[in-house]
Copies of this chain bind each other. A is one copy, B any other.
Amino acid sequence: MDTVTKLEQFLSNLESSNTPNDIQTLVTSLRDSYGVTNAVYHAVNLDGAPYAALTYTPEWMDHYQEQKYVQVDPVVRGALQQFHPMDWKRLDWSNRGSRNFLGEANDAGIGNQGFSIPIRGPNGQFALFTINDNCTDQQWEVFRKEFLRDMLLISHFIHNKVVKIMLPDGNRAQTPLSPREADTLKYLAHGMSRTNIAGKLEISEHTLRVYIDSARHKLGALNTVHAVSLAYTKGLILL
């Protein structure tokens, strides 16, 4: 079975996946067809909720959840600041929490080699697609060279499908912001005060307040900080 066929097969299976269970099956068959120890799709943030389809043991997952490892896991922390797929060897495992985590992960049968692909979507979506294996550095390098591109595509398509399944109404029309409102929120995000922004936009501070208020109301935000973070994650403003 050559490379193209593996990817083709995955994409064709993905096409006919319509439930969370299908995705789980898909990830398992992905692990088998590429001959690795584990394959993991982990949506760290999908409109506030997490979601995962993976081949780790349920025990390890429960443990991970209970210990709130998502906040400590160097893979997650690293991926949040990276764009390119990230090899686990290049992460910082120096502090105690990480070492502890690493030890427990090894005990849970997770491979010594691995890379994780960060996936970013609108609305603050953040997910990871991870492949890991037990093998030598050389073997791993060969795998990486051969399949990294497949994995990039797989990570993209699997996330796209998961969003479709988990957030069927995710494509609802967005609350539009008026140009002035968008400007206002942008400058607020930059840390400017009302007085400064009003000066920059050459309007009175009273007027500026109207924009902040109307943006808050449009977005259903509880306060200004909320409005700014909503507008940014929803892709309504550019920083």
Instruction: Check A232/B235 contact, CB under 8 A, given A71-B179, A122-B80, A153-B149.
Output: no
Does A81 make an interface contact (CB < 8 A)? Answer: yes
- What copy number does this chain have within its complex? 2
Q: Which of B44, B123, B239 contacts A48 (CB 8 A)?
A: B239
Chain A, residues 83-116, CB within 8 Å of chain B (1/0): the string is: 1100000000000000000000000000000000
Residues of B within 8 A of A118 (CB): 122
Q: Find out whether the CB atom of B71 lies under 8 angstroms from the CB atom of A160.
A: no
Instruction: Check A122/B160 contact, CB under 8 A, given A225-B225, A228-B228, A238-B44.
Output: no
Q: Find out whether the CB atom of B122 lies under 8 angstroms from the CB atom of A221.
A: no
Q: Interface size for chain A: under 10, 10 to 19, 20 to 34, or 35 or more residues?
A: 35 or more
Residues of B within 8 A of A238 (CB): 44-45, 70, 80, 126
Q: Which of B120, B152, B227, B234 contacts A152 (CB 8 A)?
A: B152
**Which of A48, A163, A189 lies at the interface centre, i.e. has the most chain B CB atoms within 10 A of its CB?**
A189
User: Residue of B at shortest CB range from A188?
Assistant: B225
Instruction: With A70-B238, A152-B152, A193-B222 given, name 16 new contacts (CB 8 A).
Output: A45-B239, A71-B182, A80-B236, A80-B238, A81-B122, A81-B123, A81-B234, A84-B160, A149-B153, A152-B153, A191-B221, A224-B225, A228-B228, A229-B232, A232-B232, A233-B239
| Contacts of A138-167 to chain B: CB distance below 8 A | 149, 152-153, 156, 159-160, 163
A44 to B1, CA, bound (A): 41
Does A9 make an interface contact (CB < 8 A)? Answer: no
Q: Find out whether the CB atom of B83 lies under 8 angstroms from the CB atom of A226.
A: no
Q: Find out whether the CB atom of A229 lies under 8 angstroms from the CB atom of B81.
A: no
A1 to B114, CA, bound (A): 34
Residues of B within 8 A of A20 (CB): none
Separation in Å of the A117 CB from the closest CB of chain B? Answer: 10
Residues of B within 8 A of A222 (CB): 190-193
Separation in Å of the A65 CB from the closest CB of chain B? Answer: 15
